[in-house]
A and B are shown apart, each in its own frame.
Chain A
Amino acid sequence: MDRDTNFKRYLKLELLPTPWCPGCGNGIVLKTVCQAFDEIDMPKNGTVVISGIGCAGRSAGFFDLDTVHTAHGRAIPVAEGIKYANESLNVVVLSGDGDLLSIGGNHLLHAIRRNTNITVVCYANETYGMTGGQVSPTTPYGTKTLTTPDGNKDTPADVQYFFKNRNCFFARTTAYHLNHMKKCIVEALKFNGFSFVEVRTMCIVNYGRRLGYKNSNEILLHYKEFYKVNDNTVELAQNEIGILKYTSSPDAEVIL
């Protein structure tokens, strides 16, 4: 089989197209996750994908694997329950920034603390797209959204700091940097312990166009201009993407 289309074996192609809007970045992330699966030849038997609620929450259903679509914010505890019940499973969580950082934020903090051996891929699109475009935990300061007509007065969550002094894996990447994204996800899947990949991705219909972007290509070009790859650091600057080096003591325990 041609290597380029081999990743399709992880998808239920008959369910396509996805429910996502034209120009949405979720499909790019979904495809890259499958390519990462393919690269390390993830076994279809023994891999489960869990997601929460929202646009990104619909990802799990497209995998040709056993998948779970949980309640809003609860993808991580369900994934942990599965992992603790059957250590031999590869457990992957795909969900959005609202789901993982806002309503499910507490679970994320504690999953990091427990260092459960699961992989989380976060579609950070800076908005609640499915409900029309409200402010989300990754919306930049000052941004106008449906619920912040005078600009966002809160500072966005910088997830890398949740991982400070923890023996976990953290990477930030974007929907533009496809090879980098694949590398980050592959490294995360290989990591023995809790791993988290924050993918900056775009919502054009309910977010980007209100900020003046004409199409999602313009947002991708913005990522290209703005983000610089830095894979050799303990702290990422705002305009940097990369994989964090560990900052914790190496003897910190990995559970399962």
Chain B
Amino acid sequence: MPKQLLQGNHAIALAAEAAGLKFFAGYPITPASEIIHELVNKRHIKVLQMEDEIASINAVIGASLAGLKAMTATSGPGFSLMQESIGLAHMMEVPLVIVNVQRVGPSTGMPTLPAQGDIIQCIHGSHGDYFPIVFYPNSVLELYTYTVMAFNAAEESLSPVILLSDGYISHLYETIYPHRDFNIKRRNQKPIGTSNRHFTGLSHEDSVIKTTDTENHRRFIRRLYEKQQLTARHYKFHEYLECSKETDALLISYGALSRIAYYFKDKYSLYRPIRMFPIVEEIKSIAPRYKRIIVMEMNAGQYVHEIERVLRREVEFVSVIGGRMDLQEIKEKIYG
């Protein structure tokens, strides 16, 4: 395939096709709609526009059970609607990919502008304990690459994997080479309709419902946790740029905002998680080299608490509430 000038959302669609996507269900929403626009023209991919995001995620669960690689794409408001069924997919161990192109919230907010307000919702949005794998690229090429990785991680962990983007990255045009040199993971589970399994959101063991067996449920949650940690080991994606000059500060940022962080590379060392969750362990060995840790994100403080929790030390925080990304304003905030 030749080099192509691609929009972020188009790159997601192309990559999903390369990863073996066969079923897509979604509901129109800014700034994610271009993904369905692109996929609907692919003959061998079944695309459904459902009545809402709840129906979309559930149709995707059904299609995945039927053996197809399946995906949905949405933005914050739709992602909120999907939460209950994301928990269901973790409980039933159904592999699928959810793309969340973040926009400014809460509520309808500013639909066309980028934000990073859904970080904690990714891991705690549904009730109960579950341990999703979450990727957040910061360029069109990375959207392409990590969409494929998201499908692989989903197949490997038999769980829903979340690919975060934002209104900025997804609407960005960049020239990329959409190669297909990937190792694509195949489904290693029989499709529905071939056996006598019972897939249920109730606590269960081997297709048998166990609604009051606490020990069984604790074993189940433990197994989910270990399975996700094990899978995550194969997807340790992060970027660490050591400052060429002497510095005592590490600037942590991700997604759209991390592109502005590159401006500060002569003053600070930069760290960018790409696999947002489970948090990449490498940060634990990098952080002790710096006196100051600064987390910068487009919300009122979400990932910063996760970093604090992992590092067990005080972390400085620069908040750029979603919407405009202005270098001058960010400079003032960082330099104080």
Interface residues of A (CB under 8 A from B): 12, 15, 44-48, 50, 58, 60-61, 63-72, 74, 77-86, 89, 106-107, 109-110
**C-alpha spacing A93/B84, complex, angstroms:** 20
What is the chain A residue whose CB lies nearest that of B194?
Answer: A45
* Contact indicator A81/B58 (Cβ below 8 Å): yes
Option from B66, B84, B193, B202 in Cβ contact (under 8 Å) with A81:
B66
* Contact indicator B62/A68 (Cβ below 8 Å): yes
**C-alpha spacing A12/B62, complex, angstroms:** 22
* Contact indicator B192/A80 (Cβ below 8 Å): no
What are 27 contact pairs spanning A and B, CB under 8 A? A15-B208, A60-B198, A67-B197, A67-B198, A70-B201, A71-B84, A71-B88, A74-B54, A74-B58, A77-B54, A77-B58, A77-B59, A77-B62, A78-B65, A79-B62, A80-B55, A81-B23, A81-B64, A81-B65, A81-B66, A81-B70, A82-B65, A84-B23, A84-B48, A85-B22, A85-B70, A86-B68
Q: Contacts A45-B193, A66-B192, A89-B66 hold; do A74 and B200 have CB atoms under 8 A apart?
A: no
For the complex of A and B, list the 5 residue pairs with the smallest distance between their C-beta atoms, beginning with the closest: A81-B62, A81-B59, A85-B66, A69-B200, A77-B58
Which residues on A sit within 8 Å (CB–CB) of B59? 77-78, 80-81, 84
Which residues on A sit within 8 Å (CB–CB) of B56? 77
Which residues on A sit within 8 Å (CB–CB) of B110? none
* Complex interface residues of chain B between 41 and 72 (CB less than 8 A to chain A): 46, 48, 50-52, 54-56, 58-68, 70
Give chain B nearest CB distance to A185 CB in angstroms. 20
**C-alpha spacing A161/B197, complex, angstroms:** 36
Which residues on A sit within 8 Å (CB–CB) of B60? 81
* Contact indicator B61/A106 (Cβ below 8 Å): no
Most buried by B among A60, A79, A80: A80
Secondary structure at the A interface, as helix, strand, loop or mixed, is: mixed
Q: Contacts A85-B46, A85-B62, A86-B67 hold; do A110 and B193 have CB atoms under 8 A apart?
A: no
* Contact indicator B55/A66 (Cβ below 8 Å): no
* Contact indicator A66/B194 (Cβ below 8 Å): yes
* Contact indicator A84/B63 (Cβ below 8 Å): yes
B183 at the binding interface (Cβ < 8 Å): no
Give chain B nearest CB distance to A245 CB in angstroms. 28
Which residues on B sit within 8 Å (CB–CB) of A82? 62-63, 65-66, 192-193
Give chain A nearest CB distance to B190 CB in angstroms. 9
B199 at the binding interface (Cβ < 8 Å): yes
Option from B22, B68, B192, B200 in Cβ contact (under 8 Å) with A48:
B192
**C-alpha spacing A12/B196, complex, angstroms:** 9
Which residues on A sit within 8 Å (CB–CB) of B25? 81
B328 at the binding interface (Cβ < 8 Å): no
B191 at the binding interface (Cβ < 8 Å): yes
**C-alpha spacing A66/B198, complex, angstroms:** 6
What is the chain B residue whose CB lies nearest that of A46?
Answer: B193
Option from A48, A72, A106 in Cβ contact (under 8 Å) with B193:
A48
* Complex interface residues of chain B between 15 and 59 (CB less than 8 A to chain A): 22-23, 25, 46, 48, 50-52, 54-56, 58-59
**C-alpha spacing A72/B200, complex, angstroms:** 12
B108 at the binding interface (Cβ < 8 Å): no
Q: Chain B 172-208, CB within 8 Å of chain A: the 1/0 string?
A: 0000000000000000000111111111111000001
